[in-house]
Structures are given as C-alpha cells and as structure tokens.
Structure 1
C-alpha cells in the first residue's frame, strides 16, 4: 500500500490494526458459517472452557493472559447468551466456578470442526508465505517483554536529541549560566550554602585558576547544562566532580551523561588517579548516572555541604 510505503515501519500499529480488522471480519463470518454464533473476542474463554472443566475467572484470566475485569465482562456477555453458567465453589463459597451450559456444549461440537478447518487454512497460508508470522509474533512478544516499544522509542529520542548537544569548555560568557543553572537545581532540592556561593560567584578563581575545568552543554546553542572538575588538595583524591546541573527543560537528552563523560575523559587526560564526588541519596537519577559512569560508594568523609550524605569515587588507575 502506498501509505505504508511512505510511512515505513513507524506505522506498524496501524498496519497490524488493519490486518486484525481484516481477520476479525472474516472470523465473524466463519462463526456464522459453522453456526457457532460466537463473538471473536469470546474465543479464548470459550476455548479454555471447551474441555468441559469448571474454572474460576481468575484461573481463566491467567490461562489466556487477560485481565480479570476483561474475562469477567466476557463471562457476563456469554452468560446472557446462555453459553456459560456460574455457581459457587463447594469447597470455597467465596469463589464462583464457570462452565459451559448444555447450549455451550452443543456449540462445542461444531466449534471443534471449525478449529480443525481454520487451523488447516492457516497452515495453507503459512506454506504460501515467505515468513512464518506465528514465529515472528512469538519473537516480537519476547523482545517487547524484554523492553517495551515505548522504552525503545525513548532511547532513540535521547540518542537523536543528544546529537544536537555540544559539550564545550567554559568561557566567561557562560559565568551567568553556570551560576543560574546550579542555583535552579540546588533550590529545587536543597538550599544554597556558603561553599556554593564561593564556587558559583567566582568560578575562575575557585575552580579554573586552581587547575580545575568547567564544561558547558549547549543544546541548539543554548547553555542547558554545566559540570566542574575541581582540583583537590587531598592526598587521597586528585579531582572532584562537582556543580553538575541540567536545566529541567533539557532533561531526557542524555546531557548529564555527556557532561559526565567529558569530565572523566578530561581527568584521564590530566593523568588523574581518581575522581571524587559528593551527592545525596534522594537524587536517584543522579546516583544512577554516577554508577553508570563507574563511580562506587566510599566511606563517609568530612564534607562542607549539609546536603551531602553519600560520597563516591571513580578509580582511573
């Protein structure tokens, strides 16, 4: 079809829906052909009950992979048509047992012939097709169970948008942005502290002139993220990753990850043995980012920040 040739695989849902509608329309006619008078959506429930056993709605739902409310609704519809009956479980009066009525069992005889002929027709189509649709569906169900289509699309969105992000070295032109982005982030979760003002009011003197570095993330030319690599006067640690902040309007574009990578690469280029950082455990996305970069928790150390309750390090050598 020309439309699907234009849209490509992005229209997968629409194409599957059209295929489903085509098969469902035929299914309705097939039920009439065999005078079973079932609705296509009843098929899974009727099939499970066709063996003649009594089952609870919960058991049926688990067996066919439907929700309890969905099965309950179908049972209600089938009961109104006289196909199923419900009665209290003798062993547990809190449970209702569902089974086919005499009318349902009579239909079941024709239903078995219908299943045989439909199965043969499907096999014929499969033999004429280049690809096994049934196996393909199984594979897709498995893969989507591992990671949903939504999550996969989010990954692609991040990948595409991160391609418009530039990580550059700090210049005085970004002094205001460096402070504003950090103040915005800190105010969201905590409060500004004395050490914050020292570094944000004078990044050149507090960070750069002491051997540190600052990176700025630009999205379409606009500064939306910053991060600093501060030279530490400490026998155990060479540098500290600090003052990472990303604008809320730019989150979800892997900017924190790109800034973190830039910091790590810079520290390696400077011959650093390690990188230290301080954070707070309520910042779960930040902690996951640091762990993804390779940081691991270390024993608590003295800190100038009231908000810091976790210290981490990344060993480079």
Structure 2
C-alpha cells in the first residue's frame, strides 16, 4: 500500500491498529491475562478515574456511545466491571472495575511496562516526514513481531552453547550492532568470524554462547558472546583469551543479558584455569565501557595493532586464582 502514498493512510493506520491488537492479545494469552486487548482503554480509564457512566467514558476516550456500550456489556459478562447507581441520581448508572478487574489490571502492569519499552524503541526514529515515519513504524511492527519482543523481555533467559540453529542469529545480532554503530568500519575479519563461528572460533579452541528464551517451537536468541583463546605461547598470555562479539538484541537491552553472558565467560575461564581476559572496544560506546569497568576490566595500551579500525580501547581483566 505504500506505493499509493497518502491515499491509503486510513487503511495503513487500520492495519497497524489491527496488528497491534492482535500482538497484544497474543501476549495476554501467553501470560494468562484474562482480558481482551480491545478492553484496555476503558479498563485503564476506570482504573485511573474510578466510576464513570457510559456517556462519560465515550466522551473521554472519544469513542461512540454504541461502541463503548458494546464493550462494557462484554466486560460485565466477564466480571471485569460492575454497575453501581449514582448516589446523587438513582436513575444514572456508573461503571467501575470489579475486584476481578482490579486484579487483572494489577497483573497486566509489568507486561505494560515491557510493552512500553518495546514500542518506544520501535518508534524511536527520526523523520521530518510523517509518511516516511509511518513506513518505518510498519517495518518495525510487521517484521519484528511485537509479541515475541515483549515476551523476550518477560521470559526467562538461558545461556547455552552455540548450536547450528543459532548461527544465523549470531550473525544477525552482531551485524545489526555493526551497522548501527560502525557501518563504514565492518572488517573482513568480522564477516569471517560471524559467518563461520564453528570453523573460525570453536574449532580453534574458542567458545560461543547464546542467550535464549526457549519456546515450544523455537529458540529466541536475544544475545551472543564469543571467547577466543590466546595463541601467544609466552608465559604471560598462554592462559588468557579474548572476549568478543558481544551483542544483545536492541529490544532486550537493559535486562542484564550482557552481564549474564559475561558471567558465563568467567565461569568458563575459572573451569579452565585462565588468568586473564582481554577485549577491544571503542571509546564512543559509553554503555559498553560502563559494563566493562563495572566488571573489573582495566584499560591498557594495545599490546599489538588491532585488526579493527573502530577499536581504540584495549582492556584486560586479571582473574587470578579466585574464580
């Protein structure tokens, strides 16, 4: 529909609306929330205001009276709202949340918080042209899957070794990160490691781990990390290795995934009696730098030229015998 421009604006907005309602309903079903996604505006209004008439609800939400009346009837049958009489006018009925409705809205609150993060991330694009912004929003919604992204933030995450089925996600997450921050500094080594992690990392003594939310049908990969052993045989480096290719899906950032992946590397290092971990990063990546500083990595001079033009910071973490 994009090719027809503003003439299909209504249809495109309707398609976005239908998709959002469907995705939110999927989230509610997976989380066993006993409400319909279409009920939310009315339930939220009653949660904030208290008691209102159908006419007042329609006015405040700018919906038609029949549409509100129809929704309210359904919600009453599902025991989410209940009617009371206005104490000052016994002819006037008011609606309020039932105890069941109050509990349902309390249960949905943490889901709404995660949904807000994902939707804000989807709409965080710069455009001075409304139709361009609309196209970007459609791309985010229809290609990303709101429900899966929200469930990634809500679900339990497990760290597992890379399997064949995870290799595309290993490539995609890292490449998305590179294209976002360093689109003109993607090295040949990046392509080699990301396209062939088994051959280029694991077969050479390294490890790759992925952070997944496991579902009955697929592994949703939300983060990845790699460890490459040092091949320097000098006494100071033979028990060391490099942490690299750490990437977390944008919609899951802020949930501690990167820390859990780093912790997995520390556990591996302890089991293999390593004494030092190294990494390379860029000074412009302030969030990454905070994470590494917090984890005890210390900036030092580069011991050798980096193969990556973008890397201007070299860091080490001494492990000792306490891991």
Give TM-score, length-normalised by structure 2: 0.48
Larger Rg: 1
